[in-house]
């Protein structure tokens, strides 16, 4: 059925009538105008004075009646489809006219005679709208329709810079909201060109800035992830990377300003000791502290791997490995360095937790914005993933907090599932200021040389979250928590890569 085509339904008398009565159509047009203006269901519902659920139902009805999705979800709200954008002027005009009708005061006769509505009527004839040239074309600027036709003429075998310019142009045609989001294939090609070193520096800033301004869609993020994955295969070697397998993908990309102790590294060690293969990969920016996680991994005997062969060996012998982004995807690492010039969190940041260097059963992510958990989960579905676990209310890394209500947003066998886990306990007091360096204190909590009840609970519950996320590992979070507590209790009996127990190894360094 074509977009906008009416769907007839049968009336009680058996005659066909339009699917939507005029009253319902008017309500839906007003709702669509608010959604186009606000690009957010909650805010639009507030403006209209209706419940969010009611507006969501009206949006579903609009989509069915008009035969178009109308909006796609992005990290910054709803992005109108090209069809919805084409309706914007007409819908806005109808909504304004409705407001004007109800704002018009009753006619008053100034002659003292009664106002006779039988002859005081509008003309039954209509004049065509005043013909004018659009104001934005006064200086010879082409219309956005002409720009679209010109961009569509760019051939698929055109030079890389020309093809990248086509994608940038499609997102921001002639300004004024005439652009559209990129498809998966377009976003993938755009980043392929950048990672191949064939893009102009101005184009890189324009592409990332435009995506940030409009709000990234799941299709765009999926395309960028595909391009980054292809880049990692080029760096590591396609055959070698294809043989990499792991039970758990644990991305850890954090801001260089994040100085909180990385207790999740200890949790990953517990999971590895439980017989799960864990591949960690990450970065702490590109500046003076970029090697923080490399130091941390080496300090506790987690192999830091720079090749696929090293990673495969570590996973086979130690059940755990860490790969720095700088060696895993050097061009992407350099793109992160643009943050100092742009001072915005670009799409590259959002793609890194989803690059899965190995063939993993599931991945652990941490997000803060409610819209981003849907963005990443929708992206995973577009990428064909069957399992994913997103830890809500935590930015960048999957580190569990057992002291508050926690929301888990998952994909289980390709189907979305949300789980709420109540606070497991009251938060213990913060431990006194430790002696020694933060790194020494962090190591000493593992060995038992320092007791920190709060840190221990974070480590154990984070390990439980990881075990709960692995398909078939634990039926409930409580069961996963029991497994994690058991491994924590026996952790010091596991040998290090040097054949010395972790307790002995830690005490040799500290004392």
Mean pLDDT value across residues 202-228 = 89
The reported pTM is 0.73
Beta pairing class for 16-18 and 77-80? unpaired
Rounded CA gap, 391 and 230, in Å? 27
**Residue 180 burial (CB count, 10 A):** 22
- Strand 406-412 versus strand 415-421 pairing type: antiparallel
For position 178, what pLDDT does the model report? 65
pLDDT in tens, 50-105: 898 889 899 999 998 888 889 887 766 788 887 888 788 888 888 888 887 777 66
Q: Residue 17: which H helix or E strand, with range?
A: strand 16-18
Instruction: Find the helix or strand (DSSP H, E) in which 34 lies.
Output: helix 22-38
The predicted structure's pLDDT at residue 177: 57
Kind plus residue range of the DSSP H or E element containing 252: strand 245-253
Q: Please state the φ and ψ torsions of residue 243, each to the nearest 5 degrees.
A: -85, -10
Q: What is the pLDDT of residue 246?
A: 96
Contacts of 50 (CB under 8 A, 6+ apart): none
> Which of 15-24, 255-264, 454-463 shows the highest mean pLDDT?
454-463
pLDDT of residue 508: 33
Residue 117 pLDDT > 80 = no
């Amino acid at each position: 059925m074509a977009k906008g085509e009416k769907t007839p339904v049968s009336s009680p008398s058996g005659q066909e009538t339009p699917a939507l009565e005029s009253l319902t159509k008017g309500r839906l047009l007003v709702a669509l105008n608010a959604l186009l203006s606000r690009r957010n269901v909650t805010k639009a519902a507030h403006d209209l004075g209706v419940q969010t659920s009611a507006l969501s139902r009206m949006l579903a009805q609009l989509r069915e009646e008009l035969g178009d999705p109308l909006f796609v979800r992005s990290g910054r709200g709803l992005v109108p489809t090209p069809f919805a954008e084409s309706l914007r002027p007409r819908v806005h005009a109808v909504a304004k006219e409705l407001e004007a009708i109800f704002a018009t005061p009753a006619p008053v006769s100034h002659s003292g005679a009664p106002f006779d509505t039988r002859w005081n009527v509008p003309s039954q004839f209509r004049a065509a709208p005043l013909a004018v040239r659009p104001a934005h074309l006064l200086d010879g600027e082409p219309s956005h329709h002409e720009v679209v036709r010109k961009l569509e003429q760019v051939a698929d075998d055109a030079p890389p810079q020309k093809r990248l310019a086509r994608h940038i142009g499609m997102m921001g045609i002639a300004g004024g909201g005439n652009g559209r989001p990129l498809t998966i294939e377009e976003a993938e090609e755009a980043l392929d060109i950048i990672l191949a070193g064939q893009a102009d520096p101005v184009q890189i800033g324009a592409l990332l800035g435009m995506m940030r301004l409009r709000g990234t869609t799941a299709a765009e993020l999926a395309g960028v992830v595909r391009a980054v994955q292809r880049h990692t295969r080029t760096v590591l070697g396609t055959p070698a990377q294809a043989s990499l397998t792991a039970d758990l993908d644990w991305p850890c990309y954090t801001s260089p300003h994040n100085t909180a102790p990385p207790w999740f590294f200890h949790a990953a060690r517990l999971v590895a000791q439980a017989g799960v293969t864990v591949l960690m990969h990450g970065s702490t920016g590109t500046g003076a502290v970029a090697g923080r996680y490399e130091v941390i991994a080496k300090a506790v005997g987690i192999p830091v791997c720079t090749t696929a062969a090293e990673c495969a060996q570590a996973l086979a012998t130690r059940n755990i490995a860490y790969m720095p982004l700088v060696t895993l995807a050097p061009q992407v690492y350099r793109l992160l360095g643009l943050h100092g010039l742009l001072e915005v969190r670009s799409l590259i940041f959002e793609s890194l937790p989803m690059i899965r260097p190995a063939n993993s059963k599931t991945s652990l992510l941490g997000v803060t914005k409610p819209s981003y958990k849907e963005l990443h989960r929708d992206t995973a579905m577009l990428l064909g993933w069957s399992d994913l676990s997103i830890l809500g209310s935590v930015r960048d890394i999957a580190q569990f907090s057992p002291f508050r209500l926690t929301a888990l947003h998952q994909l289980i066998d390709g189907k979305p599932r949300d789980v709420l886990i109540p606070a497991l306990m009251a938060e213990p007091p913060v431990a006194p200021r430790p002696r020694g360096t933060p790194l020494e204190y962090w190591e000493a909590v593992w060995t038992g040389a320092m007791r920190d009840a709060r840190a221990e609970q974070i480590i154990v519950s984070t390990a439980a979250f990881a075990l709960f996320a692995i398909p078939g590992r634990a039926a409930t979070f409580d069961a996963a928590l029991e497994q994690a507590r058991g491994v924590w209790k026996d952790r010091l009996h596991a040998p290090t890569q040097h054949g010395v127990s972790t307790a002995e190894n830690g005490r040799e360094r500290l004392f």
